[in-house]
Amino acid sequence: MHKIRLTLPTTACILALAGCSGGGERTTDGTSDTATTGITSITGSATESGTDSATAGSATGTSGMTDGQTDTGTAGASTGMECGEAMVEPMAVPPNVILVLDKSGSMVANTWDHDQNPMTPDVTRWQSLHAVVTNIANNFDAAINLGMQLFPSLAAQNTYGAAACTVEATPEVPVQPMNGAAVLAAMPPANADSSIIKGGTPATAAIVAASDHLKTLDAQIPRAIILVTDGAANCGGTTDQEKMELYDEQLPVVVGDLYQNDGIPTYVVGIDMKNEIVGCGTGSNVDNCGECSNNPNTVCDEDTDCGAGNTCEPFVGKCSMTTSDLCANDMGCPMGETCSPQPVGIDGSPLANPWKRLNDVAMAGGVPKNGGMDPEKFYNATNEAELQAALDAIAGAVISCTVPLDPPPEPIQENWTEIEVDGMVWPKVMDCATEDGWMFTQPDLSEIQLCGAACDAFKAAGGALDATYGCPPAG
């Protein structure tokens, strides 16, 4: 999709009058000569029939004189090639991206200071997410083919068990070009409350459904998932209690398989994630959810918290005499007491450190923040502005800086091609890894790669640029 404007350099028009005519030159005897416009890179051959002929760019040409005589003259460089200046507006091939959005009950049960202004009221996390997705849908609609998968689905119930974990087998909004309006129409409104935003956190099932859809699309076009959540995944167990109280260990496994086997990365965004263990049960100390087998005084979420060869044992009861103390085994109780098994941690939230768990998912997804060099591997937002910045950064990342040129410039125009992004002309470069600008990537000049700051500007502009195919100076 591009718009084209054709011009021919003034100097070339002076030197090759016949070659600059929109049609054949009209002679005084009423006949017309043939004129080649020199724009075959756009429209192919553009020759009209007539009495005489003239070719721009060739060493000789018919002037269209009334006596029918032929003269000679130079029309641009004597290459025998035609050159017509053109402007095109190419676009990168839009990637196929599906938003996998958390609509669990915590998205409205929890509010935050979205604008860091104590004078304004807090809003729900869902309200902020809706605002951010609205901006993404509006600003990147032409540059990204969007779709949306909710988890749980709109059919989910606010219950303790499987009814809280429903996920649609196909996305609520399948991926399509120019799909922003459809995404926003299907998304629950910004002011939705707990009558709509409810249920568990079946992130794994949502990723499976979203990826199954992406796999039906052209694998030659980049595909990606953007996962946005405010908690640890659950809904993976067999019994109702397992579904609600256990972290779904399959989430990083599924995400990793997608990246390794199907080339589909998953970008991970957390909403106000804190590096702490949650899901210990109503009224219990959130810092005491499990203890290391080698040291009952060390709380833990997973085995890696306890060092090599040790395990993290979740609390399963209370001490026999000091009943306020949770315990995993007798070692967790004062001397002489035993750990009495009894239900603990019944709160509908999985026992986990969501921050650490999302780090695992982000690494498995293949596209962690800052290449995984930071302690925080996922994009963590503590307010609406940070959430917007995270989604904007990811939206830019999924836009390719490899841009097809259709039609491409002619070979004679290779060194006279100009690339402009958002009002700035960028130079042609030799090394994309170290320079800011652009370079041809194909021998037939049908594709360019934007490099460094030019690539960043291209993404910020929503994947649009202007290309001008110029001509060598005449003479």
Element spanning 5, H or E:
strand 5-7
Note the pLDDT of residue 313.
Answer: 76
CA 443 → CA 269, 408, 410, 416, 447, distances in Å? 40, 11, 11, 16, 9
387: number of CA atoms within 13 Å, CB side? 29
The reported pLDDT for the residue numbered 452 is 96
Average pLDDT, the chain: 81
pLDDT at 345: 54
Banded pLDDT at 303 (limits 50, 70, 90): confident
Taking residues 304-333, report their average pLDDT: 76
- Summarize pLDDT for 57-92 with one digit per residue, the tens: 333 333 333 344 444 333 333 344 567 777 888 877
Q: What confidence score (pLDDT) does residue 448 get? A: 97
Q: How confident is the model at residue 162 (pLDDT cuts 50, 70, 90)?
A: very high
* Distance of alpha carbon 142 from alpha carbon 256, whole angstroms: 29
Single out the residue of 273, 272, 275, 270 nearest to residue 391, CA to CA.
270
Residue 367 has pLDDT above 80, yes or no: yes
Which tokens go with 86? 């053109």
Fold exhibited by the domain 96-279+348-398: Rossmann fold (3.40.50)
State the pLDDT at residue 398. 94
83-122 confidence digits (pLDDT tens): 777 788 887 789 999 999 999 999 999 999 999 999 999 9
Task: Report the pLDDT value the prediction gives residue 443, as an integer from 0 to 100.
Answer: 97
**pLDDT at position 421:** 94
Question: What is the pLDDT at residue 18?
Answer: 32
pLDDT in tens, 200-256: 999 999 999 999 999 999 999 999 999 999 999 999 989 898 899 889 999 999 999
Which residues have CB under 8 Å from 230's CB, separation 6+? 102, 104, 106, 107, 110, 125, 270, 271, 272, 273
Domain spans of the chain, in order of start: 96-279+348-398, 402-469
Say what the pLDDT of residue 16 is: 32
pLDDT value for 280 = 66
Instruction: Please report which confidence band the pLDDT of residue 269 belongs to, taking 50, 70 and 90 as the band edges.
Output: very high
Predicted confidence at residue 316, as pLDDT, reads: 63
**For residue 144, pLDDT beyond 60:** yes
Helix (H, G, I), strand (E, B) or coil at 394: helix
Confidence grade of residue 259 (pLDDT, cut at 50, 70, 90): very high
Query: What would the two tokens of residue 464 be?
Result: 């649009």
